[in-house]
Amino acid sequence: RGPSRELINEIAPEILEITNYIIVEAEKIFKKVDKNILCPLADHIAYAIKRIKSSEQISNPLTQDIKALFPEEYEVARKGKDIIKEIKDVEINEDEIGYIALHIHSSLGDEKVSQAMEIAMLVRACITSIEDSIGKQIDIESLSYNRLMSHIKYMAARILKGETIKLDMNDYISERFPKSFKIAERICKKLGRELKKDIKDVEIGYLAMHIERVILDEL
């Protein structure tokens, strides 16, 4: 079931054209896209264009994280930027692209935009904690950074769904990488508090492994 006709009638035809183009581009990559994204995404684009015309830019502190967490969604949103420029002659910025990417991401499963945003914020908080613990910023272009982000993203999704990893690596990892294990322990506690969920201890070892990789890369 798609969005209702009444709702669609309220949206300007050229905004529908832009939104439909973005959905078609998303389908080329993801095959199955929930059409119910049409109205909220069209709404978002209409307001974004309005804001830019009135010179009111909104900022998105998570743009870089969204780019790293959802690269394919971001790529589709970037194509949306081109069509918005072509049809409305309005140039949207990277922060707006980030928000469109979240809408696209939410159309791929039952994860709403707000939940995708929550995961992006949690990942950002975890990365900041790791940077504070190792005393330096992590190179966002590095492979280990992207692996770490990806791991935290799936870990947060697992926690929200109440799923867990089966194999326990904690004894092995805590012995080999005690510093990374302590950082991972702190972060898992923090995530548990933020999400108001119990995080299984088994997650600590896996996170520590990724932190260790980042530390080695940053030496």
Return the pLDDT at 1: 47
Report the C-alpha gap between 146 and 20 in whole angstroms: 30
Closest C-alpha to 135, from 170, 183, 177, 91: 183
Q: Tens digits of per-residue pLDDT, 32-87?
A: 888 888 888 999 999 999 888 888 877 888 888 888 888 999 999 999 999 999 99
Find out whether 129 and 152 touch, Cβ atoms under 8 Å.
Answer: no
Task: Give the whole-angstrom CA distance, residue 180 versus residue 49.
Answer: 45
Q: Residue 199 and residue 206: Cα distance in Å, rounded? A: 13
Residue 209 in this model has a pLDDT that exceeds 60: yes
Give the integer Cα–Cα distance in Å for 212 and 219: 11
pLDDT of residue 115: 78
Average pLDDT in the chain: 86
Tokens of 171: 């004894």
- Residue 15 in tokens: 């905004």
User: What average pLDDT does the segment 149-158 reach?
Assistant: 85
Reported confidence tier of residue 5, pLDDT bands at 50, 70, 90 = low
Task: Compute the CA torsion angle 206, 208, 213, 217 (nearest 10 deg).
Answer: 150
The residue behind tokens 């998303």 is 26
CA–CA separation, 40 vs 28, rounded Å? 21
